[in-house]
Amino acid sequence: MRTLVVTAVPAERDAVTRASGAFDVLAAGVGPAAAAAATATALALGTYDLVISAGIGGGFGVPLGSVVLADAIVAADLGAETPGGFVPVTELGFGAVEHRPPADLVRNLADATGAATGTVLTVSTVTGTAERAAALRTAHPDAVAEAMEGFGVAEAAHQHGIPALEVRAVSNAVGPRDRDAWRIGDALTALTEIFGKIPPVLESWNSHD
């Protein structure tokens, strides 16, 4: 199985490559557009069976330095503001706001790594207030993390007919901006640890499906 891992920045790419040589790893840039463009370009080669969006992220009620796996990858701010509140593009008759990774693979990975599972939100703006964090929690009660690239990677993968996963190591809590509280080093270490455990799970998933 050939797996492409898409990170935002070189530090995340290096955290993954330190763990294993089993992946092709690409640092695509920050945000869903850069992630989608780079992923689609790489997938056009036609050589990949799986794509993983990976990096650091903000956690909803999960410990800093822990890792979460997406069972749903959701574009949280793709829609329209209306007097009645936010309306996702799907309710306007367009596109998609959610991609679902293969459930059995997510379960196998969670069992092997101890990672928590849940919805991982993709946002174009890092949440920086308690009010916005509360609104996201209300709209997405199953959310465990937010980041900025997963939906772009998953959308590109979907358009190529390839499954996508999202793996986020939690560097900060989603909420009021507190840059000093971010634990980026711990999150990158956690990213390396989990990617060391992923290859055998992918191999056994591949051989059974």
Ligand X SMILES: O=C(O)c1cccc(C(=O)CC[C@H]2O[C@@H](n3cnc4c(=O)[nH]cnc43)[C@H](O)[C@@H]2O)c1
Chain Cα centroid distance, residue 96: 16
x-or-dash pattern for ligand X, window 23-42, by CB under 6 A? -------x------------
C-alpha to C-alpha distances, 181 to 144, 177, 186, nearest whole angstrom: 18, 9, 12
Helix (H, G, I), strand (E, B) or coil at 59: strand
Give the other-Cβ count within 10 Å of 59's Cβ: 26
Whole-number minimum distance, CB 132 to ligand X, in Å?
A: 10
Please identify, using beta-carbon distances, which residue of 148 and 167 lies nearer to ligand X.
Answer: 148
Q: Which of 168, 130, 177 is nearest to 147 (CA)?
A: 168
Binding residues with ligand X: total (CB under 6 A): 17
Whole-number minimum distance, CB 204 to ligand X, in Å?
A: 29
Instruction: Look up residue 58 and give its two tokens.
Output: 């903000």
Rounded to whole angstroms, how far apart are CA atoms 155 and 59? 22
Whole-number minimum distance, CB 123 to ligand X, in Å?
A: 6
Please identify, using beta-carbon distances, which residue of 30 and 201 lies nearer to ligand X.
Answer: 30
Whole-number minimum distance, CB 205 to ligand X, in Å?
A: 25
Residue with tokens 């998609």: 96
User: Which of 8, 62, 78, 164 is in the footprint of ligand X by CB under 6 A?
Assistant: 8
Whole-number minimum distance, CB 79 to ligand X, in Å?
A: 18
Residue nearest to ligand X (CB): 58
Query: Please, what's the b/e burial string for 22-58 (b: 16 or more CB within 10 A of its CB; e: otherwise)?
Result: bbbbbbbbebbebbbebbbebbeeeebebbbbbbbbb
47-86 positions binding ligand X, by CB under 6 A: 55-58
User: Which of 146, 166, 191, 195 is in the footprint of ligand X by CB under 6 A?
Assistant: 146
Rounded to whole angstroms, how far apart are CA atoms 164 and 75? 14
User: Which of 73, 123, 188, 202 is in the footprint of ligand X by CB under 6 A?
Assistant: 123
Residue with tokens 């560097």: 171
User: Which of 149, 162, 190, 194 is in the footprint of ligand X by CB under 6 A?
Assistant: 149
Q: Indicate the pairing of strand 85-88 with strand 79-82.
A: antiparallel
Whole-number minimum distance, CB 128 to ligand X, in Å?
A: 8
Q: Is 172 in the site for ligand X (CB under 6 A)?
A: yes
The residues binding ligand X (CB under 6 A) are: 8, 30, 55-58, 123, 126-127, 146-149, 171-172, 174, 179
